[in-house]
Structure 1
Amino acid sequence: MSTNLSVPNPTPELIKVAENAKEASILLGQATNKQRCEVLIEMANALNDNADKILKANLVDIERSEKEGLNKSLLSRLQLTKNKLEGCIDGVLKVSNLADPIGNRQLHRKLDENLILERVTVPLGVLGVIFESRPDALIQIASLAVRSGNGALLKGGSEARATNQAIMDSLDIGLSKSNVGTGALSLLTTRQESLGLLHLNRFVNLIIPRGSNELVQFIQDNTRIPVLGHADGICHLYVDASVDIDKAISIALDSKIQYPAACNAIETLLIHEDVAEIFLKKSLPIFSNSGVTLKGDSKSQALGVKNPAIDLDWSTEYLDLILSIKIVSNVDEAIEHIRKYSSRHTEAIATNDKDVAEKFLRSVDSSGVYHNCSTRFADGFRYGFGAEVGISTQTLPPRGPVGLEGLVTYRYFLRGDSDLVKDFASGDRIFSHTDLPL
């Protein structure tokens, strides 16, 4: 157990919940692909049957959170519309149709006669997921956990407590109709439980935080359990000299206003000095009509951007209709700015010059780097993963939107017949290391 004194130890009740999730995850991991898919279908049916109850609970959360002064971006994430809920349910079904991530043989090698080595994918075990505001995240994570044979302890923010409970009640109905998975998912409801979760390294194999920079940093500093996630989503779009201005404006608008509270919305727009005047002349009225507040460096202010940008703006995740603008002399200056201020989430370039595009794609070290398209495509559902448990900006895999493949590990199986290392050490036997068909 961790000895960090800033976090209380888990209660006996929480330890029991974790033990149950661990036991259930073992059974779920040994279930057939068909059985796990059937669980997801039952979960989707239960969510659909209880849709009205879930949406009514969400209205309760919205009204309470508005009275409590929850900020605009978190309110946006908290809201669960009918269309969004239908999309989540469709995502559960899509996850059930994805290829089975368990039992894939990645390596098959004959070390010597009758000594066969395999590397095979297996579930991680139990996920601990702490998320703020977004009740749709509960549905996504639960479906991915079950499909990948993992248990999950799920802790949502207090602002979404009614919605999360209504969703969890529905998921439990789906789980109860199957012979596998019962007890694999548990909803934690108190701050004490979320803090105690950080100590459960005997039972929890991975923690996935989805929320503010402060939340992620706190979790990373207070647990021995591996943590997957990202703190900030400071994303950039660079508009190059060789560009179709109208297309670049469209990309910038979609990247900023399609859903400004998302972590993959751009916070900074970098513009090549050769096209800055014409780009801003055409785009400033459009940004203004879209409700976007612009902050600019001295060069962009001289071209019509009203508000000054200070140093802090370049490293700020607004999660709102606010956009910082900087004019740069070339792609190298744009890349250097991104290296300095980016959170390594998602960056994009708008250009017709393929050489410049390739330089940008190969030089920017973020989990997603795009050419001539919106940063809002950084999403597991849009990537065809069915859903995602979150986005990871770390260098080691999994990286970017994390779907099923990021929720499995692998195990080495070695099958022999009374084989001994001393026979190889003495030279009586020699390794053949022959690769066999997967």
Structure 2
Amino acid sequence: MMPTVPRPAVSVPDPSPDLLQRAAAVRRAAMDLGRLSDGERRQAVLAMADALQAEAELIAAANAADLEAAAADGLAPALVARLKLDAGKLAGAIEGVRQVAQLPDPLGVRQLHRELDQGLVLERLSVPLGVLGVIFEARPDAVMQIASLAVRSGNGALLKGGREASRSCTAILAALRRGLAASAVAPETLALLTSREESLGLLKLDGLVDLIIPRGSNALVRFIQDNTRIPVLGHADGICHLYVDREVDILQAVRVAIDAKTQYPAACNAIETLLVHREVAPAFLQQALPAFAAAGVSLRGDADSRALGVEQAASDDDWRTEYSDLVLAVRVVDDLPQALEHIRRYGSRHTDAICTTNAATAETFLRGVDSAGVYVNCSTRFADGFRYGFGAEVGISTQTLPPRGPVGLEGLVTYRYLLRGDGHIAADYAAGGRHFSHRDLPL
């Protein structure tokens, strides 16, 4: 991805007294939640799923109202696709909540157990982060995913959906809180922010919020990154690539390419650029072009791909554009190194894939692409917390430091060092009277 020019931060107003009070209430509830047992948190998540199921019709009606308003406002098709919460999508989201309840407890895991000296024992245990601040656009299902992961991992959450999803988010959060009311977890653990002023105020809640997770457009993510001192987890771009190698099963590659572009084009893990090796390009595009046309995909290609049938010309901007729609850029490359260089230059380190029958080429691609997800002979649409078995995800991170890729429970915990002694003091070791043993003990 090309380097971006730093922009001056926009002045962000201080949070209102009401927001400060609500955030403080979430933090107090989160502290109590973090002390609950695995069974209590598991039962709370199941109660949330039951409440969502019981109020599915109300949620669907709220979403229908949001969709009607979005149509009147001329909302972009990609955002409408993300906003829509039909019966199948809602059922899948509720099932994802139930799966989160069945995941292993991420808290209290002993990661280190070491005797520093006789009677001086160190442990490192996993603990909750605290409070999550999550901002997302047109994604009401994100409320369910994030809330269930937050509760399961012992965290509170302040949730801010886009204006276009306001009715859906309100109905979903009301159901989630009613579910929590039937459990050991306080409903105040989850709170919904409803105005732009509150979302801006969230950015200045350092001390009350421990991590901000943006899910939305490039502009949204970069604005948040530029205007908060709270750590931010997320990705600004989802520019994913599929490279079709010279040694390839063409029919298989066509199926993978069609799925990666069309199965859900508004998703951040849909491919935006197709790279094709020059030697296989004529045969591959002969099969692929009719398939893309039948699926309604508009292709934009370089000079070589246009000579092989791609109708529209691609500009340099197309290689760095996340369409989130049925549009795909196509480029013919000379070899694998040129494909890797293209991905390095224009990619967003989200998810990139290769189709090849050569195992050595596949390994070179796996080791040569620095993305959160690197795939061989399968669709980039598998870059998803639910499909990874996480139950759900709070988002996808393209940063190199962990967590990376789809972020589930393991990305919502940190750790704490616990040291137990018997009157030990550092001066004894500085003077050379005592020595460290550093003996690892069973976990």
TM-score by length of 2: 0.98
Amino acid at match of 1:173: R
Gaps of 5+ in 1: none
- Kindly indicate whether the alpha-carbon contact (under 8 Å) linking 2:385 and 2:406 is maintained by their aligned counterparts in 1: yes
Are the equivalent residues in 2 in contact too, given 1:91–1:140 (CA < 8 A)? yes
Q: Which amino acid in the other structure matches residue 230 of structure 1?
A: H
**Residue 115 of structure 2 is aligned to residue 100 of structure 1:** no
Q: Could you tell me which residue of structure 1 aligns to residue 260 of structure 2?
A: 255
Residue 20 of structure 2 aligns with an amino acid whose one-letter code is I
**Which runs of structure 2 are paired with 1:29-428 in the superposition (5 Å)?**
29-428=34-433
The answer (yes or no) to whether the contact 2:70–2:80 under 8 Å persists in 1 is: yes
How many residues align structurally? Answer: 435
Query: What amino acid does structure 2 have at the position aligned with 1:123?
Result: P
* C-alpha distance in structure 2 between counterparts of 1:250 and 1:108, whole Å: 49
| 1:8-27 matched pairs, under 5 angstroms | 8-27=13-32
Matched AA of 2:110: R
Q: Offset at 1:180?
A: 2.2
By how many angstroms is 1:425 displaced? 1.1
Q: For the residues of structure 1 that align with 2:324 and 2:318, how far apart are their CA atoms? A: 12
SS in 1 for 2:127: strand
Give the letter aligned to residue 343 of structure 1: S
CA contact (8 A) 1:88 1:139 kept: yes
Counterpart Cα distance in 2 of 1:373 and 1:123? 34
Runs of 4+ in 1 over 4 A off after TM superposition: none
Deviation at 1:22, TM superposition (A): 0.6
Secondary structure at the aligned position of 1:30 is classed as coil
CA–CA distance in structure 1, aligned partners of residues 78 and 387 of structure 2: 22
Partners of 2:145 and 2:308 in 1: how far apart?
44
Contact map agreement 2:178 2:187 (CA 8 A) in 1? no
**What's the TM-score once normalised by structure 1's chain length?**
0.99
- How many Å separate the matches in 2 of 1:180 and 1:232? 36
- 1:246-276 Cα shifts (integer Å, max 9, x gaps): 0000000000000000000000000000000
Per-residue deviation at 1:136?
A: 0.3
Report the 3-state secondary structure (helix = DSSP H, G, I; strand = E; otherwise coil) of the residue aligned with 2:157.
Answer: strand
CA distance in 1, matches of 2:262, 2:251: 16
Instruction: Name the SS for the 2:188 alignment partner.
Output: coil
Deviation at residue 5 of structure 1 after TM alignment: 6.4
Q: Distance in 1 between matches of 2:303 and 2:12?
A: 46
What's the CA shift for 1:177? 1.1
| Contact 1:146-1:181 within 8 A present in 2 as well | no
RMSD: 0.7
Q: Using the alignment, how far apart are the partners of 1:277 and 1:179 within structure 2?
A: 63
Partners of 1:284 and 1:388 in 2: how far apart?
A: 34
Is the CA contact 2:394–2:407 (under 8 Å) kept in the aligned structure 1?
yes
**Residues of 1 paired with 2:309 and 2:256: CA distance?**
20
Q: How far did 1:182 drift?
A: 2.7
Distance (Å, rounded) in 2 between the aligned partners of 1:51 and 1:73: 24
Deviation at 1:282, TM superposition (A): 1.1
Shift in Å, 1:399: 0.1
Shift of 1:128: 0.2
Cα distance per residue 1:155-189 (max 9 Å; x no partner): 00000000000001100101111222331100000
Task: Percent identity, please.
Answer: 61
Aligned mates of 1:325, 1:88 — CA distance in 2: 34
Per-residue deviation, residues 51-94 of structure 1 (Å, max 9, x unmatched) = 00000100000000010010000000000010111111111110
